[in-house]
């Protein structure tokens, strides 16, 4: 994977996350927790999965090169894809 491609993917991820967060901020708590009949049972559950996915990838990048921001304590947590994060929308 070359640096140019990695930068493209990072920019895409950043833009998608920003757009998604702007939409989520407009939701009610009922919408946030509304039950779905799919693999993810709510937006709340889906967003937890997306966050943990990003977190996992950042952890993988730490093995390639030392990044000052990725050496912080926060990035040493062991998050499971089965864990639901964020009790409410502002979190």
pLDDT at 2: 76
Each residue's pLDDT tens digit, 27-48: 999 999 899 888 888 888 888 8
Q: Which residues span the domain enclosing 44?
A: 26-76
Please report whether residue 45 resides in a domain.
Answer: yes
User: pTM of the full predicted structure?
Assistant: 0.73
- How far from each other are the two terminal CA atoms of the chain, in whole angstroms? 33
The total number of structural domains that make up the chain: 1
Please report whether residue 14 resides in a domain.
Answer: no
Please report whether residue 71 resides in a domain.
Answer: yes
Please report whether residue 35 resides in a domain.
Answer: yes
Q: Could you tell me if 2 and 64 are in contact, meaning their C-beta atoms sit under 8 angstroms apart?
A: no
Which residues of the chain have a pLDDT value below 70? 1, 69-76
Please report whether residue 67 resides in a domain.
Answer: yes
Please report whether residue 21 resides in a domain.
Answer: no
Please report whether residue 20 resides in a domain.
Answer: no
């Amino acid at each position: 994977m070359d640096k140019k491609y990695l930068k493209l993917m990072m920019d895409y991820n950043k833009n998608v996350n920003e757009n998604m967060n702007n939409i989520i901020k407009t939701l009610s708590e009922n919408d946030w927790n509304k039950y779905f009949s799919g693999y993810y049972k709510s937006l709340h559950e889906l967003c937890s999965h997306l966050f943990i996915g990003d977190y996992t990838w950042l952890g993988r990048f730490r093995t390639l090169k030392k990044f000052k921001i990725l050496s912080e304590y926060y990035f040493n947590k062991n998050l499971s894809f089965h864990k639901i994060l964020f009790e409410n929308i502002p979190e």
